[in-house]
Amino acid sequence: GDGAPTSNYGYSNSGYSVYEEENERLTESLRTKVSAIKSLSIEIGTEVKNQNKMLSEMDNDFDSTGGLLGATMGRLRMLSRGSQTKLLCYMMLFALFVFFVIYWIIKLR
């Protein structure tokens, strides 16, 4: 082979540079996409940390509210264990008072 070129493994310079330019363009496109995915994953990680912090704070708030509600329910149970007759008497007096207030309001019209 006197006529066969020995450099570039049989490729002509113009064809080889076209493939090289195409590879460079695709590599740059891939680099841009990988960079975008990296920044997106960092933003997602930051958002997840913020959401976990907010959930933790809400959990603490619900725990304290549950404790307060439990204490209130305990007081109500102690009141209800007391004299049932006394409680019933107070309820009847309150109902009678409300009845007279409503009667008085209607009569003044």
Distance in angstroms (rounded) separating the CA atoms of residues 78 and 72: 10
pTM: 0.47
CA distances from 74 to 26, 51, 81, 88, 102 (A): 71, 34, 11, 20, 34
Distance in angstroms (rounded) separating the CA atoms of residues 59 and 53: 10
pLDDT digits (tens, 9 = 90+) for 5-38: 544 455 556 667 888 999 999 999 999 999 999 9
pLDDT digits (tens, 9 = 90+) for 73-82: 887 777 667 6
